[in-house]
Each structure stands twice: as structure tokens, then as C-alpha cells.
């Protein structure tokens, strides 16, 4: 058996229309990819082509920084004054803007990605997709990546900086969005393994979960000015899917042990206590890693706050959110510490007599190893300055001065340390427990978005494909 030809293919949505608008609700965009017995699908080649327009309540492109002599959405004009005869004028006193999370880019527009075979068996379903990408993109891409090729692949512009990103939203995004899931990071798949057809269902995000607005300076930073982002939305135009099929000189073989592929599970829970324990049942025979990010609960689905960021845990401080540190974390399997026999606790090492804390290198090490072992991680944005720490030697330097330039913060553990693919078994009721001791005091709930990276198999039987955990 040998490769004869690689063919680039293109398809349009089954529910074909010229425009999908988040203004009208959470649309499903449905694609079907089909092929013959002698064809395989290059999963890593899948891209969704689209032109994305971000629009204000009046259906116009944003005008962040008053580039065209008008305010972004025409609200709260009285607070902006009228210097120079331009009404309303852009002033540094308020600096109104509408934005999306700059490090997640156009992935903010997608809520769920689901893959099904010809018989509607679910191969993979990734929920809360932006929260996965908010961990993956800064973890695996450098700032140089985010300044160059990721503009069209992920819709990340200006190195992931919010202030520069606001300019980019004033015009159309043209992109070939890479759908990052476990399945699309896997080896080519024979079409015969899915009965000749792979269905991809993409659910768009709600506008309030993707967009937010406020001011760049002052006491009202990031909390909205006259609800400036309210009723903003995004449109996807000319949506298509491109992919590559591999033609073989004979029918693609179906191995007796089945077709193995990577898989992401999505989990969500709430943390409020200073000593929190959350238990999951991943139901996977081969869990490779678990990675978790945090965001305060009242920031979700709000035009007045970034709903996607990977923030530090936060408590209430006189009505305002205040960052708190994770003091200790443990990972347990069936109530036994595994794979680490010790807690991740850096207070002895990074607390100093001046009351400041330094960068959590140990927590960050395990978090950054979740997608690939750290020794093989070539590019990343995670460092002391992007977690609002820096080093004490340089005065606690931060990469960004603006309060809305949030950390890249997370917690995780990797089980596949001996090889790239061998993990641990969580089937037959075996549970994953994550214990987090922090500075929370119960005054403000936070959401934890966790993803379990594992492997699954498709077994082809006489009665059809069967998906095994």
C-alpha cells in the first residue's frame, strides 16, 4: 500500500447561508466530509475559512480610539467632551473600547466543536472551547508566533496585547481558523473507520461571552462605560471548510486493534473555599494530562468583563476583585496522591520578608507540561511577567501595565511522562481529585475550566463503528 495523491478539498455548510450572525442566537454550522474506502482524511489539515466582522449595536464596525471621529457605539457621549470640534471626542479620561480576549483570538467565536461519524456516534465534543484555547495558545506559541502567522490561523493579532488588538477589531478579520481539538491533532484517519463520513458541528458563542467593553484607564477600567459593548455581536461570512484527503493505491487498512486518536474532555466546576476539593470521573482508559484555568464567576457571559481569560483566583475586596495565590495543590487518584507523592507548595521558596511572592515555578512547570513535556516545549508565552509577578530583583516587573492585561495562569498535571502517549486508567469508577488550598475566603465564587487529554479508539465491527474510551 502506498500514497498515490494528496487532494485539497473544500466544502460548504449543510445549513448553507451567506452569513452566520451571533446576533440571532447560537448558530450551529454543520459540515460533512466524505471519502471512499481507499481514502484517508488528514485531520491536521482542517481549516474553517471565514471573514469575521465585529459590529456594534448599530451594525457598524467598531471605532476603538475614535479613529473615524465617532465613538465606538454612540453611548455615554456626554462623558467624553468635545475638544477639537469632534463629537464625541476620544479622550484619555475614558478611552472607550470594545474588545475580545487578545490571546484567544477568533477562537472566542466558537462555543463547542463536535465530531460524529456517519451513524452519529460522537467521537469528540469540546465544550467551552475558548477556555481550552486560552490555555493552549499562550502555552504553545511565542510572542513572535502571535505577531506573525497566527493572525490568520487563530485570529491572534498584535502579540496577544489587548491595546493593539482593539485596533484590529475595527475592520474585517480574514482567517483560516485551525480547529484545535484532540482529533485534529491525530494521525490521518481512514474514511472507512467512520463509515465514509465525518460530521463536524460548530456551535457559535454568544456575543456577551465573546465581547466586552470598558475603558483603558481610570477607576472604571474594564467594567464598562455606559455599557458600551452592550448588544455588540459578530458575523461570520462566506464560511467554508478546507481539508486534505490522501488517496491510496488500495483500500485503507483497518487494524484489528482499532484506530487510535487523541481526545479532549471538558469539565467545569465552582471554587469558593480556601481548601477546595473537586472530584471528576474522566472515564478514560488512557488519560495523558489534566489542565485547569480559572475565572471569577461573575465575569462569564458579560459585556462588562472578559469572559475568557485565564486569571488568578479572586476574592472580594470592598466590592472589587482581588487576586489571591494558590498556596498548595494536590492531585489524587482514588484518594491516593498520584503521580506526585508530594504537594505543590512553593511558599517556603518564594515568600520573602517584604510580603511579596515570586513566580510559582513548580506549579507553572507542571502546568506547562500538560500538552507536551517541558523539555520538548519550544515556544511559550508563559513566564514570570505574564503571570503578573516578574522577579523581585527587577521590582516585580509586569509585562503589561493595564489592569485588564491578565495573567496566563493555570494548574495541571501530566500522567504520560514515560512516553508521549501512555497515561493512566480512570475507568470503572476511578476518580481524579484535585485539592487546592488558596487565599479564597468564600466572598466570591470562581469557575474552574478543566480539560482531560486522553486517547480513544474507533473499533470497526460488522454492525458499525464503536467508540471506546
Q: Hey, where are the domains in the chain?
A: 3-468
Q: What is the layout of strands, in order, in the sheet containing 432-438? A: 275-280, 432-438, 326-333, 336-337
User: Which pLDDT tens digits describe the chain residue by residue (469 residues)?
Assistant: 577 788 899 999 998 788 899 988 778 999 999 998 889 999 999 999 999 999 988 898 988 877 665 444 444 443 444 444 444 555 655 567 888 988 899 999 999 999 999 988 999 999 999 999 999 998 999 888 888 888 889 988 877 777 788 888 889 989 999 999 999 999 999 998 888 899 999 999 999 999 988 776 655 555 555 567 888 999 999 999 999 999 888 887 776 778 889 999 999 999 999 999 999 988 888 999 999 999 999 989 988 888 998 889 999 988 888 888 899 999 999 999 999 999 998 776 666 555 566 778 889 999 999 998 888 889 988 887 777 654 444 444 344 444 445 678 999 999 987 666 688 999 888 999 999 999 999 999 999 999 999 999 888 776 777 888 7
Q: What single-letter DSSP state applies at residue 94?
A: T
User: Which three-class secondary structure state does DSSP give residue 343?
Assistant: coil
Which positions ≥6 away from 104 have C-beta within 8 Å?
A: 130, 133, 134, 137, 156, 308
Contact present, 110 and 29 (Cβ < 8 Å): no
The angle subtended at Cα 143 by Cα 137 and Cα 145, nearest 5°, is: 70
Q: Are strands 336-337 and 197-204 parallel, antiparallel or unpaired?
A: unpaired
> Strand, helix or coil at 367?
helix
Q: Dihedral of CA 397/401/406/408: which sign?
A: negative
Nearest to 229 by CA among 404, 109, 75: 75
Q: What angle do CA 51, 63, 179 make, to 5 degrees?
A: 30
Which DSSP symbol is given to 119?
T
The reported pLDDT for the residue numbered 86 is: 47
In this prediction the pTM is: 0.89
What 3-state DSSP class applies to 203? Answer: strand
CATH superfamily of 3-468: Adenovirus Type 2 Hexon, domain 4 (2.70.9.10)
- State the pLDDT at residue 75: 46
Task: Tell which residue, 344, 349, 316, has the closest CA to residue 436.
Answer: 344
Element (H, E) at 165: helix 162-168
How much is the pLDDT for 441?
93
The stretches of 237-323 forming alpha helices (DSSP H) are: none
Distance CA 193, CA 461 (A): 10
- CA angle at residue 236 from 232 to 237, to 5 degrees? 130
End-to-end CA distance of the chain: 29
Amino acid at each position: 500500500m502506498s500514497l498515490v495523491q494528496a487532494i485539497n478539498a473544500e466544502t460548504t455548510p449543510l445549513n448553507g447561508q451567506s452569513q452566520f450572525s451571533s446576533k440571532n442566537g447560537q448558530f450551529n454550522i454543520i459540515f460533512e466530509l466524505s471519502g471512499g474506502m481507499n481514502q484517508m482524511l488528514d485531520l491536521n489539515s482542517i481549516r474553517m475559512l471565514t471573514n469575521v466582522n465585529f459590529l456594534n449595536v448599530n451594525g457598524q464596525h467598531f471605532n476603538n480610539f475614535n479613529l473615524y471621529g465617532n465613538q465606538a457605539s454612540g453611548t455615554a457621549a456626554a462623558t467624553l467632551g468635545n475638544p477639537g470640534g469632534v463629537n464625541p471626542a476620544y479622550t484619555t479620561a475614558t478611552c472607550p473600547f470594545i474588545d475580545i480576549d487578545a490571546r484567544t483570538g477568533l477562537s472566542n467565536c466558537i462555543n463547542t466543536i463536535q465530531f460524529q461519524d456517519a451513524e452519529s456516534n460522537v467521537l469528540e465534543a469540546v465544550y467551552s472551547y475558548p477556555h481550552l484555547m486560552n490555555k493552549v495558545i499562550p502555552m504553545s506559541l511565542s510572542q513572535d508566533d502571535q505577531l506573525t502567522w497566527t493572525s490568520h490561523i487563530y485570529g491572534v493579532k498584535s502579540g496577544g496585547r489587548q491595546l493593539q488588538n482593539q485596533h484590529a477589531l475595527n475592520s474585517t478579520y480574514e482567517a483560516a481558523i485551525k480547529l484545535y481539538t484532540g482529533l485534529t491533532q491525530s494521525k490521518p484517519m481512514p474514511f472507512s473507520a467512520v463509515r465514509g463520513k465525518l460530521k463536524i458541528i460548530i456551535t457559535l458563542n454568544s456575543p456577551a461571552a465573546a465581547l466586552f467593553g470598558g475603558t483603558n484607564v481610570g477607576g472604571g477600567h474594564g467594567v464598562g462605560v455606559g455599557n458600551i459593548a452592550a448588544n455588540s455581536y459578530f458575523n461570520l461570512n462566506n464560511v467554508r471548510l478546507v481539508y486534505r484527503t490522501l488517496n491510496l493505491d488500495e483500500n485503507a487498512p483497518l487494524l484489528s486493534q482499532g484506530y487510535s486518536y487523541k481526545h479532549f474532555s471538558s469539565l467545569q466546576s465552582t471554587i469558593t473555599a480556601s481548601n477546595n476539593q473537586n472530584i471528576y470521573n474522566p472515564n478514560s482508559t488512557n488519560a495523558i494530562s489534566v489542565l485547569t484555568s480559572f475565572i471569577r464567576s461573575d465575569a462569564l457571559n458579560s459585556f462588562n468583563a472578559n469572559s475568557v481569560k485565564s486569571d488568578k483566583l479572586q476574592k472580594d475586596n470592598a466590592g472589587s476583585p482581588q487576586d489571591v495565590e494558590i498556596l498548595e495543590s494536590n492531585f489524587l487518584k482514588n484518594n491516593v496522591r498520584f503521580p506526585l507523592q508530594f504537594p505543590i507548595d512553593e511558599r517556603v521558596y518564594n515568600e520573602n520578608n517584604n510580603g511579596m511572592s515570586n513566580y510559582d515555578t513548580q506549579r507553572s512547570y507542571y502546568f506547562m507540561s500538560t500538552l507536551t513535556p517541558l523539555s520538548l516545549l519550544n515556544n511559550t508565552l508563559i513566564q514570570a511577567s505574564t503571570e503578573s509577578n516578574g522577579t523581585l530583583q527587577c521590582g516585580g516587573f509586569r509585562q503589561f501595565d493595564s489592569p485588564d492585561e491578565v495573567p496566563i495562569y493555570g494548574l495541571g498535571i501530566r500522567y504520560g511522562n514515560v512516553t508521549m502517549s501512555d497515561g493512566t486508567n480512570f475507568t470503572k469508577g476511578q476518580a481524579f481529585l484535585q485539592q487546592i488550598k488558596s487565599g479564597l475566603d468564600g466572598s466570591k465564587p470562581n469557575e474552574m475550566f478543566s480539560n482531560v487529554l486522553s486517547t480513544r479508539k474507533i473499533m470497526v465491527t460488522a454492525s458499525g463503528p464503536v467508540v471506546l474510551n
